[in-house]
Structure 1
Amino acid sequence: MRRAFLAATALVALALTTSPAHASSGSGSWPGGWEPAPTPPYDMPAGARCDVPVHTEPVVDEVVQRVLDRRADGTPSRVAYRGDLVVRVTDTDTGSFHDADVSGSAVVDYHADGSQKWYVVGPVLAGVGENAGNLARGLYVLDGVYTMDISATGYKTVHLVHGSADDLCARIG
């Protein structure tokens, strides 16, 4: 368990502090090839993640990304993300909301088959549909050190090395 913790932490730290070996540096307007990675707002009907209809929208979004590696065709295969992100999660029936700080750092491997592997330190927002992950249906702030596998069909498997999963549906419902 400790070895997995150290490996995940080292991978994210290395990706966030070194220059990419095979990536373009982007437009050149951001130091080190970092570019904005805005988080779009989205709506989910009742039952998709929470029992109530939900709207999410960033209220602080300073997330940047850096492509660390590309496939031969130029598509990104490994991308690092970091930056402040606070997302307002709102029950659209009642107006009840919770502002979730999801300012974690991650390195994401994007596989050719559409699957992904996330290496994360700190909080991120993750939604899980009914029977679509090893967590129950919900909208979570996952915090700590962990990996997340997302299959090509969207099934999410979270491996918490050290951390927590806070279900935001309970906070707004």
Structure 2
Amino acid sequence: MRMPSYRTRSAALAAALATAVLVLASPAAQADDDDGWQPYHGQDYDAPAGTLCPFHLHITDLLDQEETKTVGRYPDGSPEKVLWRGPLILRYTNVDTGAQVDRDQSGRATEYRLPDGSTLWDVPRSSHISAKVHPGNPYHAVGDYVFSGGAVLLVHPDQQVEVLAQHQVENLCQTLA
């Protein structure tokens, strides 16, 4: 899935400079009950040269059947805990050279929207998530990353991505260079 993935899992994160996309659910929340699941569809994404990669990067869906479900709310009714699931396959293109790679970001994730405006993404070992890290991020090198095999990402209120835990990571800027 995407998360801190090609597009952010929430509209707010998708518009953020540092985007993260992912999908997971806690074991107790992974019941077969489909009540409350809503479709989520991201948008194509363009990063001009120098904003993520040294080249113009274009990201588009090949398959997007993600769903979200809010399972926890703050007293004011705003979402506190959101589950993500579903298939997501994205195509990453180096527009300058035409080189392309497809990445499966399917799976599950849990998004925790924290009171300070941060978002914590918890992605299980069986799932994937991606994150866009822009120039000026004090926590991680610039690039567009896909995390597989589990990850925990914190997106700060200023939309800077901090990687708290990861298993496997690929910088698509290096892959497509």
Question: Is TM > 0.5 for Structure 1 vs Structure 2?
Answer: yes
Q: Does 1:14 align with 2:28?
A: yes
Match for residue 96 of structure 1?
Answer: 99
Structure 1 Cα separation of the partners of residues 40 and 133 of structure 2: 22
Name the counterpart of 1:71. 74
Pairing 1:45-84 to 2, within 5 Å after superposition:
45-84=48-87
Q: Does the 8 Å CA contact 1:15/1:107 hold for their aligned counterparts?
A: no
Aligned length: 152
Unaligned runs of 5+ in 1: 1-9, 20-30
What's the % identity of the aligned pairs? 30
- Distance change >3 Å, CA 60–CA 142, structure 1 → 2: same
Deviation, structure 1 residue 90: 0.9
Alignment root-mean-square deviation, CA: 1.9
**Inter-CA distance 84–99: structure 2 relative to 1 (3 Å threshold):** same
TM-score (norm. length: structure 2): 0.78
* Match for residue 142 of structure 1 among 141, 144, 147: 147
State the Cα distance separating 1:134 from its structure 2 match.
Answer: 2.9
Contact 2:133 2:142 in 1 (8 A): yes
> If you compute each CA radius of gyration, which structure gives the higher value, 1 or 2?
1
Q: How far apart in 2 are the matches of 1:169 and 1:108?
A: 26
Deviation at 1:77, TM superposition (A): 1.3
Q: Which residue of 1 aligns with 2:39?
A: 36
Distance 1:113 1:17, change over 3 A: same
Q: Helix, strand or coil: the match of 2:173?
A: helix
Shift of residue 114, structure 1, vs aligned partner: 2.2
Question: In 2 relative to 1, CA 133–64 (structure 1 residues): closer, same or farther, beyond 3 Å?
Answer: farther
Contact 1:12–1:120 under 8 Å retained in 2: no
- What's the counterpart of residue 157 of structure 1? 162
| Structure with higher RCO (Cα < 8 A, 6+ apart) | 2
Structure 1 residues 60 and 46, CA gap change in structure 2 (3 angstroms)? same
Distance 2:147 2:160 in 1: 16
Identify the residue that residue 22 of structure 1 maps to in structure 2. none
Q: 1:48 to 1:164 in 2, by over 3 A?
A: same
SS at match of 1:55: strand
Once the two structures are TM-superposed, the CA of residue 18 in structure 1 deviates from its matched residue by 7.3
128-137 or 142-151, which deviates more: 128-137
Q: Extract unaligned runs of 5+ from structure 2.
A: 1-23
